[in-house]
C-alpha cells in the first residue's frame, strides 16, 4: 500500500509525472506549463525534470496547441495539452470538434488520436469573465470525444492515468475550485474503469447525481438531510461521456427519486440528458419527476454574484425537499 | 468603407496597374520562379536548377495527363449522378505533380480535398479518393500506408496537423519532411497563421505549399490579401517563394529545395504556387457568375500540360508513339475509375456505429443494439408476411 494524502492539484501533478516517466511518447503542451508550472502549478517542476522537449511551452494560440497536438499524435506521440481556463477553449473548439473528435472515424479506424485536453473549469474562485465556465455539455454532445471530471484526489490521479492511456481523445475537466482539497491517493491500487460512476454515499430516499466540483456540495447536502431524517444517496458520475446510466438506474430504482446537480446551465445541460434517459429507463420506479439544479441561462456572472448562480447547499436541499414532497 | 476602398472593390481584378506599392493589391506581374515558359522553352533560374532525364520528363508529363484524365472522369461521374460532389484540380496539375514528385517516401503529406495529383504521386489508388465524394465514407484510406493524410475539408485545419507532425519528426531525430497543402482562401484562416507561428518558433521541418489558384469559391485573392502571399512568410521569420504553378519543373525544383532545407533542420518554407483553377471550385458552383471568360482564356495559354508537351516534342524527348500510348493508358484509367465507382457498394447500415471510438463506448454500444433490433424488426415482419 502506498497511500498518501495530497491535494487534487498535487495528485494531478504526480499523475502527469508518472505518465511522462512511464511512456517516452507522452508530452505536455500548453501556455506557461514550463518554468511557471502552469497558472495553477499543475505541471510544476515537470519541465525541470523532463526537459523542454517533453514539457513544451507553446505560443499563445489555443487552436495551434490542439492542432499541433493532433499532428504529434499522428506521429505516434501522446500529447496532454493544457487549456489555461475553460473560457479559453473556444479558439480550439474547431480543432477539437471537427478534427480531434472525428479523425479516427474518418480513417475508418486506421489511426488513433490519443490526446488529452486538460481544462480547469467551473466557478467559485472569484475570477474575471471567461475564467469560471462549465462547458462540458458542449463536448459531451460531440461523438468521438470522451469527457470526464474527477472530484477527489484519488480520481484525479487515476483518471488522468486512464485518460493518457486511452486511444480516444479525452476532454479532462479539472474542478479548479477543488484543486486544493486533500484526499487519500493509493498509488498502487488501480481503481475501476474511467467511465464508471461511484456511489460516494449510500442512501434510500433519494439519489443525488453530480460530478466534479458539485460532488462535495452534494455530500454536504446529504449530510444535512440526514440530520432531518432523510437518507440521500450520492453518485459521483466521474464521466459525462459516456455516462454510466446503469449505475444511475440501479440507484434510482432503489430510491425512487433523482436530482441531478451541476454548475453548468440547466438548459440543454447534462442533467437534461440524465433526466430523459432515466425517465425512459425507470419510469415506473420514479416517485417524482427528475429534478435538476444548476446554473441559469445567463452568461456566467461577475464574481460578486457567482454565489447566487452556483448551486449551493440550500438550493440542493430545496430540490431534495421538492422531490420528496411528491 | 471609404470611397477609395469601395472603388477598389469595383475595379476589375488584377487589371489595373497602380503606382503605390502600399495600395497595390495582388501583384499583377509576380516574381515567379520559372524553368519552363508557357511557350515550352526551357529557361534557367539562378537559385533553382534542375536536370532531369528524358525518362523523368516523360514521367512528369504522364503524371499530369493521367491526373487530368482522372479528374475529367470524376467530373463526368458527378454529372452522371455517380458522385455527390467533385472538386476538380483542372489547371493545377503542375503544382501538384511537381511538388508531389519532389517528396521522398518517408515524407508526410497533409492535403486539402483537391490534391488528387499529389495523391497520385504518393501511390494512392485514385479510386480511393472517390469514396468521400460518392458518400460511402469520409476518406477511408489508411494515411500511414502512403504517408498521405486524409483529405481535410475545414479550410486550413491541416496546416496545424502538418506542423505538429513535423514537430514530432524533429523530436524523433528523423530527416524526413512534411508538406501541408492549402489554398489562397485558407491563407486568411487563423489556423494557417498559427501554423506559421508554431512551425517557425519550433523550427519544424514543414513546407507550406499554397496553391494560389486565384479563387476561393467566388472570392478573388484580392479578398484574402493585400500583399503577395509568399511575402507573408517573412513576417514569421522563414523564407517564402513564389513559383510558376503551371510549370511542373519549377514546382519540382522549388519544392525539392524547400524540403531539403527542412531536412537540414533549417525550418519551414512557404511556397506559393501561382496557378489557376480552370474549373469550378466544386461541381456545385458556377464560375460564370463570378469571373470573366477572358480570364480563363488567358490562363489556358499557360496550360501546364501543353507547355511540357511542346518542350518534349521540340527537344525530341518524346515521340508520337509515347503520346499515343499515353492516350490509351488514359482511356484505360478512365474506364477503370468509372467501373470502380459504379460498383462501389453502400456501406452496411450497422457500420454507422463502427469507429466512432477506438476504445469502445457504452453509449454507442447501446444505440447500436437498439438500431440492430429496429433493423431486425423489419426482417421479422417480412418473414411473417406482413
Instruction: Please state the φ and ψ torsions of residue B203, each to the nearest 5 degrees.
Output: 55, 45
Q: Which residue of B has its CA nearest to A109?
A: B355
pLDDT of residue A240: 98
Write the pLDDT tens digit of every residue in A113-124: 999 999 999 999
Catalytic center residues of B: 277, 281, 290
**Subunit contact A71:B144, Cβ cutoff 8 A:** no
* Gap between the terminal Cα atoms of chain B: 68
- Pick the residue from chain B with its C-alpha nearest to A104: B355
A116-121 β-sheet, strand order: A55-57, A26-30, A78-82, A116-121, A170-175, A146-148, A239-241
Q: Which residues contact residue A63 at a Cβ distance below 8 angstroms, ignoring those fewer than 6 apart?
A: A91, A92, A94, A95, B160, B190, B191, B194
Q: What is the pLDDT along chain B (386 residues), one digit of tens a residue?
A: 333 333 344 444 443 444 344 444 444 555 899 999 999 999 999 999 999 999 999 999 999 999 999 999 999 999 999 999 999 999 999 999 999 999 999 999 999 999 999 999 999 999 999 999 999 999 979 999 999 999 999 999 999 999 999 999 999 999 999 999 999 999 999 999 999 999 999 999 999 999 999 999 999 999 999 999 999 999 999 999 999 999 999 999 999 999 999 999 999 999 999 999 999 999 999 999 999 989 999 999 999 999 999 999 999 999 999 999 999 999 999 999 999 999 999 999 999 999 999 999 999 999 999 999 999 998 766 665 55
CA distance A10 to A247: 29
Interface pTM, i.e. ipTM: 0.96
pLDDT-derived band at A190 (thresholds 50, 70, 90) equals confident
Chain B hits for A75, CB-CB cut-off 8 Å, are: 164-165, 167-169, 172
CB pairs under 8 A between A and B: 143
**Cα–Cα distance between A70 and B158 in angstroms, integer?**
10
Residue A1 is predicted with a pLDDT of 59
Q: Which of A68, A72, A167 sits opposite B359 (nearest CB)?
A: A167
Cell 518524346 identifies what position?
B318
Mean pLDDT, chain A, as a whole number? 97
The pLDDT of residue B117 is 98
Which residues in chain B are contacts of A111 at CB distance < 8 A?
A: 142-144
Alpha-carbon gap, residue A59 to A48, rounded angstroms = 19
What is the distance in angstroms between the Cα of B52 and the nearest Cα belonging to chain A?
33
Which residue of chain B comes nearest to A103, CA vs CA?
B150
B157 to A58: CB separation less than 8 angstroms, yes or no = no
> What's the predicted TM-score (pTM) here?
0.94
Nearest CB among B137, B160, B364 relative to A71 is that of B160
Distance separating the N- and C-terminal Cα atoms of chain A: 47
pLDDT, mean of residues A10-31 = 98
Residue B82, min C-alpha distance to chain A (Å): 21
Q: Rounded to an integer, what distance in angstroms lies between the CA atom of residue A33 and that of residue A40?
A: 9
A68–B157 CB contact, under 8 Å: no
Give residue-wise pLDDT tens across range A73-124. Answer: 999 999 999 999 999 999 999 999 999 999 999 999 999 999 999 999 999 9
Among residues B63, B95, B83, which one has the least CA distance to residue B326? B63
pLDDT computed for residue B289 by the predictor: 92
Closest partner CB to A68 (pick from B149, B150, B163): B163
B169, B197, B358 ranked by CB distance to A59: nearest: B197
Please report the pLDDT score of residue B382 as a whole number: 60
Contact check, Cβ <8 Å, B356/A143: yes
Give the residue numbers of A annotated as catalytic, written as ranges.
Answer: 131
In Å, how far is A119's CA from the nearest CA of chain B?
Answer: 20
Nearest alpha-carbon partner for B233 in B256, B211, B210: B210
User: Which pLDDT value is given to residue B3?
Assistant: 37
Across the interface, whether the CB atoms of A143 and B139 are under 8 A apart is answered no
String of DSSP letters for B65-95? HHHHHHHHHHHHHHHTTSSS-----TT-HHH
Strand partners, B242: B272
Give dist(CA B150, CA A13) in Å, integer: 36
Cβ contact, residue pair A70, B160, below 8 Å:
yes
**Distance between CA atoms of B218 and B293, rounded to whole angstroms?**
14
Q: Nearest by CB to A68, from B164, B172, B362: name it.
A: B164
**CB–CB of A71 and B171 under 8 A?**
no
B181: cell is: 497543402
Contact at CB, B154 and A99, closer than 8 angstroms: yes
Report the distance separating Cα A122 and Cα B130, nearest Å.
45
Q: How far apart are CA B63 and CA B383, in angstroms?
A: 54
Amino acid at each position: 500500500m502506498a497511500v498518501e494524502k495530497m491535494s487534487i492539484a498535487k495528485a494531478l501533478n504526480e499523475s502527469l509525472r508518472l505518465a511522462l516517466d512511464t511512456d517516452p511518447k507522452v508530452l505536455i503542451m500548453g501556455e506557461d506549463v514550463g518554468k511557471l508550472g502552469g497558472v495553477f502549478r499543475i505541471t510544476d517542476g515537470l519541465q525541470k525534470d523532463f526537459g523542454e522537449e517533453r514539457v513544451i511551452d507553446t505560443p499563445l494560440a489555443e487552436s495551434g496547441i490542439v492542432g499541433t497536438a493532433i499532428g504529434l499524435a499522428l506521429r505516434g506521440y501522446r500529447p496532454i495539452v493544457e487549456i489555461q481556463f475553460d473560457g479559453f477553449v473556444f479558439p480550439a473548439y474547431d480543432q477539437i470538434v471537427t478534427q480531434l473528435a472525428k479523425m479516427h472515424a474518418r480513417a475508418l479506424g486506421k489511426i488513433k488520436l490519443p490526446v488529452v485536453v486538460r481544462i480547469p473549469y467551473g466557478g467559485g474562485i472569484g475570477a474575471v469573465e471567461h475564467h469560471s465556465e462549465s462547458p462540458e455539455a458542449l463536448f459531451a454532445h460531440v461523438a468521438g470525444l470522451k469527457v470526464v471530471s474527477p472530484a477527489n484526489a484519488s480520481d484525479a490521479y487515476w483518471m488522468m492515468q486512464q485518460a493518457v492511456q486511452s486511444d480516444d481523445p479525452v476532454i479532462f475537466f479539472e474542478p479548479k475550485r477543488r484543486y486544493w482539497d486533500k484526499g487519500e491517493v493509493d498509488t498502487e491500487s488501480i481503481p475501476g474503469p474511467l467511465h464508471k460512476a461511484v456511489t460516494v454515499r449510500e442512501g434510500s430516499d433519494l439519489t443525488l447525481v453530480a460530478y466534479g466540483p458539485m460532488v462535495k456540495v452534494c455530500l454536504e447536502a446529504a449530510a444535512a438531510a440526514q440530520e432531518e431524517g432523510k437518507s440521500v444517496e450520492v453518485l459521483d458520475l466521474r464521466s459525462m461521456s459516456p455516462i454510466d446510466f446503469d449505475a444511475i438506474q440501479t440507484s434510482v430504482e432503489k430510491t425512487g427519486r433523482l436530482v441531478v446537480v451541476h454548475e453548468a446551465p440547466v438548459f440543454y445541460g447534462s442533467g437534461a440528458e440524465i433526466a430523459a434517459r432515466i425517465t425512459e429507463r425507470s419510469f415506473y420506479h420514479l416517485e417524482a419527476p427528475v429534478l435538476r439544479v444548476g446554473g441559469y441561462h445567463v452568461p456566467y456572472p461577475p464574481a460578486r454574484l457567482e454565489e447566487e448562480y452556483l448551486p449551493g447547499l440550500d438550493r440542493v436541499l430545496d430540490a431534495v425537499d421538492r422531490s420528496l414532497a411528491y | 468603407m471609404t470611397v477609395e476602398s469601395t472603388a477598389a472593390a469595383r475595379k476589375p481584378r488584377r487589371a489595373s496597374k497602380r503606382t503605390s506599392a502600399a495600395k497595390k493589391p495582388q501583384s499583377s506581374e509576380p516574381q515567379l520562379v520559372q524553368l519552363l515558359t508557357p511557350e515550352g522553352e526551357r529557361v534557367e533560374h539562378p537559385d533553382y536548377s534542375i536536370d532531369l532525364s528524358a525518362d523523368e520528363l516523360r514521367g512528369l508529363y504522364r503524371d499530369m495527363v493521367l491526373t487530368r484524365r482522372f479528374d475529367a472522369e470524376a467530373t463526368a461521374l458527378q454529372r452522371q449522378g455517380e458522385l455527390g460532389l467533385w472538386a476538380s484540380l483542372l489547371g493545377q496539375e503542375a503544382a501538384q505533380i511537381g511538388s508531389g514528385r519532389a517528396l521522398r517516401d518517408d515524407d508526410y503529406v497533409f492535403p486539402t480535398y483537391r490534391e488528387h495529383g499529389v495523391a497520385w504521386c504518393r501511390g494512392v489508388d485514385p479510386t480511393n479518393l472517390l469514396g468521400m465524394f460518392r458518400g460511402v465514407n469520409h476518406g477511408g484510406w489508411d494515411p500511414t500506408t502512403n504517408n498521405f493524410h486524409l483529405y481535410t475539408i475545414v479550410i486550413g485545419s491541416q496546416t496545424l496537423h502538418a506542423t505538429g507532425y513535423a514537430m514530432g519528426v524533429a523530436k524523433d531525430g528523423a530527416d524526413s519532411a512534411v508538406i501541408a497543402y492549402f489554398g489562397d482562401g485558407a491563407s486568411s484562416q487563423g489556423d494557417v497563421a498559427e501554423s506559421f507561428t508554431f512551425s517557425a518558433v519550433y523550427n519544424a521541418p514543414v513546407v507550406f505549399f499554397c496553391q494560389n489558384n486565384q479563387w476561393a469559391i467566388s472570392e478573388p485573392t484580392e479578398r484574402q490579401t493585400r500583399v503577395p502571399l509568399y511575402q507573408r512568410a517573412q513576417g514569421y521569420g522563414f523564407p517564402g517563394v513564389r513559383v510558376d504553378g503551371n510549370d511542373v519543373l519549377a514546382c519540382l525544383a522549388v519544392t525539392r529545395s524547400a524540403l531539403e532545407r527542412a531536412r537540414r533542420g533549417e525550418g519551414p518554407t512557404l511556397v506559393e504556387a501561382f496557378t489557376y483553377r480552370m474549373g469550378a471550385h466544386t461541381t456545385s458552383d458556377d464560375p460564370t457568375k463570378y469571373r470573366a471568360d477572358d480570364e480563363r482564356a488567358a490562363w489556358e495559354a499557360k496550360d501546364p500540360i501543353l507547355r511540357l508537351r511542346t518542350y518534349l516534342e521540340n527537344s525530341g524527348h518524346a515521340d508520337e508513339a509515347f503520346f499515343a500510348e499515353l492516350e490509351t493508358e488514359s482511356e484505360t484509367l478512365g474506364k477503370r475509375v468509372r467501373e470502380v465507382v459504379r460498383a462501389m457498394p453502400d456501406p452496411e447500415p450497422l457500420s454507422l456505429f463502427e469507429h466512432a471510438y477506438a476504445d469502445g463506448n457504452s453509449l454507442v454500444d447501446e444505440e447500436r443494439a437498439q438500431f440492430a433490433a429496429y433493423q431486425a424488426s423489419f426482417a421479422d415482419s417480412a418473414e411473417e408476411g406482413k
